[in-house]
């Protein structure tokens, strides 16, 4: 049987990307919806053929414990609510898939991991790019020696924060977003450098690009940072809310280079590899990263094994991002 997933939070990402792509999976299905807006929840349930008994409000969520059609809860709420809802879902006896960034602090992440262990349930962080066939191919090429020893990663994620849009209003507020552009999109550069190199950074330096001079914005709106890796490779990265649309990861190797641009878009990816033999564009048909990510969660549940991107993976990025903020605050290099 397919693994039943309950979506908590019916915002832009849940409704536009996740709900429709559940139908493209092999092992998962939409089993329930949880929302603060009863009308919206009913409409979504109807559109996806769910009976009213599988529609939950935030207040009556805990009765989901008795809903046998629900195996896992997928938390797609503003970042500051990830920990509490993960703990609530574990308390209801469900597995948890949680959006990035995992949570605001290292302490939150550790508590989430501990709650999953105590409940004997899986915890996966929804790092879709790690299941994206383009990013997977890039990992194989870099780690397979195609461009020689990787020396330098340049990774930039930028977009305009649009304060007239609901989904960006909580992102502007520290108490809801937990962090700024780094937590929201810079995380793709942090995670990308780690999975492309297959190693963990030991030290970071950082500078703020924009501390935010807008009254409505209480988070950082731009950071640039460097990460040093044990092999000697370095990552030069930036993230921000004041320039439009960069989703780029470039790897410079001793004998070639690889570019993913965009690297982390939902549907468009371009992968170019340049070596002594010339330049080639790699095209991969049928590359649905959402379905692949959801199927990984479903299979981890079915096969009773650790998911490929467990809580420890989310914790690692939060540790690094906290170190980046500390480095930007103090001007000092910070060990990770």
DSSP summary character for residue 100: S
Interactions with ligand NAD, residue window 275-334 (CB under 6 A) = none
Task: Give 272's strand partners.
Answer: 259, 281
Of 56, 127, 134, 188, the catalytic one is: 188
Q: Which of 6, 50, 73, 78 binds ligand NAD (CB under 6 A)?
A: 78
Interactions with ligand NAD, residue window 156-175 (CB under 6 A) = 166-167, 170
Q: How far is the CB of 144 from ligand NAD (least distance, A)?
A: 27
Quick check: 96 and 121 in contact, CB under 8 A? yes
Residues 6+ apart with CB under 8 A from 310: 122, 123, 124, 125
Q: Which of 70, 73, 77, 153 binds ligand NAD (CB under 6 A)?
A: 77
Q: How far is the CB of 10 from ligand NAD (least distance, A)?
A: 5
Q: How far is the CB of 214 from ligand NAD (least distance, A)?
A: 19
* Cα atoms found within 13 Å of the Cα of residue 222, Cβ hemisphere only: 15
Distance between CA 218 and CA 8 in Å, rounded?
A: 26
Residue 265 binding ligand NAD, by CB under 6 A: no
* Cα atoms found within 13 Å of the Cα of residue 71, Cβ hemisphere only: 18
Interactions with ligand NAD, residue window 10-69 (CB under 6 A) = 10-14, 36
Distance between CA 124 and CA 99 in Å, rounded?
A: 9
Both tokens assigned to 275: 């070596």
Coil, helix or strand for 251?
A: strand
Region near ligand NAD per CB under 6 A, out of 25-33, 73-81, 255-263, 268-276: 73-81
Residue 176 binding ligand NAD, by CB under 6 A: yes
Of 56, 74, 100, 247, the catalytic one is: 100
Q: Which of 99, 156, 221, 296 binds ligand NAD (CB under 6 A)?
A: 99
Region near ligand NAD per CB under 6 A, out of 7-15, 64-72, 102-110, 112-120: 7-15
Q: How far is the CB of 233 from ligand NAD (least distance, A)?
A: 26
Q: How far is the CB of 146 from ligand NAD (least distance, A)?
A: 27
Residue 135 binding ligand NAD, by CB under 6 A: no
Buried b (16+ CB within 10 A) or exposed e, 131-144: bbbbbbbbbebbee
Is 100 labeled as catalytic in the residue annotation? yes
Evaluate the omega torsion of the peptide bond into residue 101 and state whether it is cis, within 30 degrees of 0.
yes
Q: Which residue is nearest to ligand NAD (CB)?
A: 11
Which residue in 153, 135, 169, 322 sits closest to 238, CA to CA? 153
Site for ligand NAD, rule CB under 6 A: 9-14, 36, 76-79, 99-100, 126, 128, 166-167, 170, 176
- The residues annotated as belonging to the active site are 100, 188
């Amino acid at each position: 049987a397919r693994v039943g997933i309950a979506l908590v939070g019916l915002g832009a990402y849940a409704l536009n990307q996740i709900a429709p792509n559940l139908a493209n999976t092999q092992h998962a299905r939409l089993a329930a919806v949880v929302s603060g807006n009863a009308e919206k929840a009913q409409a979504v349930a109807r559109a996806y053929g769910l009976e009213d008994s599988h529609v939950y409000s935030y207040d009556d969520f805990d009765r989901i414990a008795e809903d046998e059609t629900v195996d896992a809860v997928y938390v797609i709420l503003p970042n500051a609510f990830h920990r509490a809802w993960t703990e609530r879902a574990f308390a209801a006896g469900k597995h948890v898939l949680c959006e990035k960034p995992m949570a605001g602090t290292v302490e939150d992440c550790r508590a989430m991991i501990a709650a999953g262990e105590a409940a004997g349930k899986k915890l996966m962080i929804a790092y879709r790019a790690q299941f994206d066939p383009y990013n997977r191919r890039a990992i194989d090429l870099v780690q397979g020696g195609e461009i020689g020893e990787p020396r330098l990663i340049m990774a930039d994620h930028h977009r305009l924060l649009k304060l007239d849009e609901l989904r960006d209003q909580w992102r502007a507020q520290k108490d809801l977003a937990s962090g700024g552009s780094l937590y929201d999109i810079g995380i793709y550069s942090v995670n990308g450098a780690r999975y492309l190199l297959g190693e963990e950074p030991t030290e970071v330096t950082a500078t703020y690009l924009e501390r935010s001079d807008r009254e409505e914005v209480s988070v950082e709106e731009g950071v640039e940072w460097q990460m040093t890796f044990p092999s000697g490779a370095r990552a030069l990265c930036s993230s921000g809310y004041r320039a439009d649309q960069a989703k780029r990861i470039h790897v410079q190797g001793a004998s070639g280079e690889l570019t993913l641009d965009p690297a982390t878009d939902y549907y468009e990816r371009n992968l170019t590899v340049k070596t002594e033999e010339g330049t080639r564009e790699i095209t991969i048909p049928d590359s649905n990263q959402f379905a692949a990510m959801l199927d990984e969660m479903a299979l981890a549940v079915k096969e009773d094994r650790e998911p490929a991107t467990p809580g420890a993976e989310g914790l690692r990025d939060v540790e690094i991002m906290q170190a980046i903020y500390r480095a930007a605050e103090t001007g000092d290099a910070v060990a990770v």
